[in-house]
Amino acid sequence: MSEVDILGIDLGTTNSAIAIWEPDTGQARVLSNSEGDRLTPSVVMFDTEKNQPIVGKSALGFITTHPNQVIYSVKRFMGCTFRDERVRIDQTQVTYTIAEMQQSKVAVRVGEEIFTPPQISAEVLRKLKKDAEATLGKTISQAVITVPAYFSESQRQATKEAGELAGLRVRRIINEPTAAALAFGLGTEPQTVAVYDLGGGTFDISILRIEHGLFRVKATSGDTHLGGDDLDLAIMSWMQKAFKQQHDVDLPIAEDNSLRSQFRKTAEIAKIALTQATEYQISIPNLFAVEKQYLGLKATLTRIELEKLVQPFINRTLDICDATLKEAKLQATDIDQVLLVGGQTRLPAIKKALRDRYGWTINDSVNPDEAVARGAAVQGARLCGYLREEVKLWDITPLSLGIELANSKMDAIIRANEPIPVTKWRKGSQAFTTQRDGQASIRFRIYQGERPIAGDNEFIGEVVLNLATTRPAGEVQVNCMFKVDHDGILHVLAEDITTDGQPVEKTFDRFYRLTQQEVDQKLEEAKVHENEDAVTNRIFQLEEEIIRLQRVINQDKTSDNLLLETLESLKAAINSRDVNQAEALLTELKSKIIN
């Protein structure tokens, strides 16, 4: 079997980690960086004089002295534009300058230089690659990189671009919760698990069913702007209020980058300390000058106070957990255990909240900072031919994918929550045909969503099949295929099987994936319009009944005026969306035809 030469990389908001599968031990090994640490801060300092980036722990040391040149939490801006509301909020929370590029794309300005988020992330990945090569004593050119479960396609593409800029062939982009489940080595016993992943900048919850080595994602959700950064900001706000109480002075945190950097660093240290201790002494001398007199901050932050500060954020994660359980059609008692991933899960308050709310068994047996990288390394081993029987993996489609029919109906070809990869055909009796004589092409308009009328869903794009010959309406037979591959990329193919014309295939990659917020919005819209959509679905069914009855009437060549009048009344009832009257008329019409 081939040597494993694919790195597993957790490109995190706060920290990143690398791992590789070792066939000799049958385990994923987390690799240390050049500083001897297993975690590398996802931080880059651009030295405008030397024109040489400094990455990791060394860059972190400049955050208070050169706040405008130290870039951190850039993962929040990956693949984003200034049209994203969160970008406008997030740019006020960082100490560096966010700039707008062409097509509203987000960039970072350092002095006269402009850097894109993928370029900055590439510097982190380049260091990880170099450190791994030094440890392993060989060149590494391939990687599996993880992303939050509901990163949009543009965010996934930006992550892939970062890997390529770092000199890596990105073999797979996989979801962080999925990678984490692989890391915990679950696969021998049938069970249902939740993966609760609270990292530096993102939160994900996934529910997986594991049977016979097969990992099936039943539901997944999250928030790309909820994580340790938010907890740090809450502590910073507490510190600012404490300073105000001591000196009656409002610190200009929002305007003073150096001050904000110092507060952020202290907040993170306090948060980490309180995972073990019950209180932490904050002491920052000479913090701020007022009329040439320097004022400092001395305060005691207790774990109880910290838990009050972070509880609103924990509650947000629990609300997402509730919604995900509902989506998976499961009760809390159906979950056998919850896997804790991400450094923030070390907070005792999180474990307590999960036990109190759901009564779940907590599994924190794998280092939460390393679990995702280990899982990515397992995926890398599979790509090299290992673990194919031990571990299999299914992801799901979050929303239905389909096309618009002539009557505006959404024909869902791939349903929501289908395991991927998946291929579905419309052929044979389900094949499509032309609507009018001499029609030269068939246009497939593709949508994503759960509403019965296609136009109420998210438009993805279209595939146009030019017909080789023009023929009478209904004579053409066109097959259509929808396929979502291992990477979640949608392929749509249309072919005219009644001639030798060339099929048309189109790929929808970056355009069809929606963010978590957009997916939630689509599901909420479907819920709000549930009663209305039930009527619409019944109307579509009634219209199909009319077509069948019309054929029978035409075949009999009936001139029964009463029968024809009832048919017209039925059509009028459908047009006015009077389902009860339409049902009654349909029953009457059927009885007249039978008799």
As for how many domains the chain has, the answer is: 4
Q: How far apart, in whole angstroms, are the C-alpha atoms of residue 284 and residue 296?
A: 5
Six-digit token string for 2: 């081939």
pLDDT at 334 over 70: yes
Q: CATH code at 290?
A: 3.90.640.10
Clarify whether 588 is annotated catalytic: no
Same domain, residue pair 246 and 329? no
pLDDT value of position 518: 66
Same domain, residue pair 114 and 163? yes
Q: What residue has token string 């002075």?
A: 249
Six-digit token string for 480: 């259509």
Q: Which of 514, 517, 528, 524 is nearest to 458 (CA)?
A: 514
Same domain, residue pair 189 and 233? no
Active-site annotation holder among 90, 123, 153, 176:
176
Same domain, residue pair 451 and 551? no
Question: Which domain-ending residue is among 280, 309, 338?
Answer: 309
Residue 24 lies in a domain: yes
Residue 1 lies in a domain: no
Same domain, residue pair 69 and 179? yes
Same domain, residue pair 73 and 190? yes
Same domain, residue pair 374 and 415? no
What mean pLDDT value characterizes the chain?
A: 87
Same domain, residue pair 356 and 408? no
Give the single-character DSSP code of 104.
Answer: G
Question: Which domain-ending residue is among 275, 291, 309?
Answer: 309
Instruction: State the residue range of the domain holding 590.
Output: 530-594
Q: Quote the distance between the C-alpha of residue 586 and its chain's center.
A: 46
Same domain, residue pair 305 and 445? no
Same domain, residue pair 320 and 206? yes
In this predicted model, what pLDDT tens digit does every residue of 12-57 receive, in sequence order? 988 999 999 999 898 999 999 999 999 999 999 998 777 789 999 9
pLDDT at 133 over 90: yes
In this predicted model, what pLDDT tens digit does every residue of 536-577 receive, in sequence order? 888 888 887 877 777 777 766 556 677 777 778 888 888 888
Same domain, residue pair 429 and 282? no
Active-site annotation holder among 84, 123, 161, 197:
197
pLDDT value of position 517: 57
Minimum mean pLDDT range among 201-205, 337-341, 400-404: 201-205
Minimum mean pLDDT range among 354-358, 484-488, 503-507: 484-488
Minimum mean pLDDT range among 36-40, 390-394, 500-504, 506-510: 390-394
Distances (CA, A) of 169 to 124, 129, 152, 164: 15, 12, 21, 6
Of 93-102, 220-229, 362-371, highest mean pLDDT: 362-371
Strand 392-396 versus strand 214-223 pairing type = parallel
Clarify whether 10 is annotated catalytic: yes
Clarify whether 75 is annotated catalytic: yes
In this predicted model, what pLDDT tens digit does every residue of 230-248 receive, in sequence order? 999 999 999 999 999 999 9
Residue 537 lies in a domain: yes
Clarify whether 256 is annotated catalytic: no
pLDDT value of position 393: 63
Question: Which domain-ending residue is among 309, 334, 350?
Answer: 309
Same domain, residue pair 376 and 274? no
Instruction: Kindly report whether the global pTM for this prediction surpasses the value 0.85.
Output: no
Q: How confident is the model at residue 173 (pLDDT cuts 50, 70, 90)?
A: confident
